[in-house]
A = this chain, B = another copy of it.
Amino acid sequence: MEIDPFIFRFSIFILAIFVGYYVVWSVTPSLHTPLMSVTNAISSVIIVGAIIAALAGSSENIFEISSIFGFLAIVLAAVNIFGGFLVTQRMLQMYKKKKKNK
């Protein structure tokens, strides 16, 4: 009577879609551009897969075909992570300065 873990993951996926729906609708329109950049940054969490792939190389041959793709994916995802979060922070910082000026 064990339940397949896939079904749990699927449940999590469905509920996360609901959460996403609500959480994104509640984003104020003036922050839609930072929203685009931050979603970009978080979607790079795919780096976890890249790390697993990269570390799977054997100790004699660190750069076999699958780990090379892992390393490449790490570079790409890292550009996104740093770039995405930093550019978002830069934008949000600008919004922050406002209140004082009023």
Number of identical monomers bound together in the oligomeric complex: 2
Q: Name the CB-closest residue of B to A15.
A: B15
Contacts A19-B19, A22-B19, A22-B23; A9 near B8 (Cβ below 8 A): yes
Give every chain B residue within 8 A of A16 (Cβ-Cβ). 15
A9 CB to closest chain B CB (Å) equals 7
Number of interface residues of A (CB under 8 A): 14
Q: Does A43 contact B (CB under 8 A)?
A: no
B5, B15, B23, B26: the one within 8 Å of A3 (CB): B5
Contact B26 A22 (CB under 8 A): yes
Instruction: Mark interface residues in A43-81 (1 if CB within 8 Å of B CB, else 0).
Output: 000000000000000000000000000000000000000
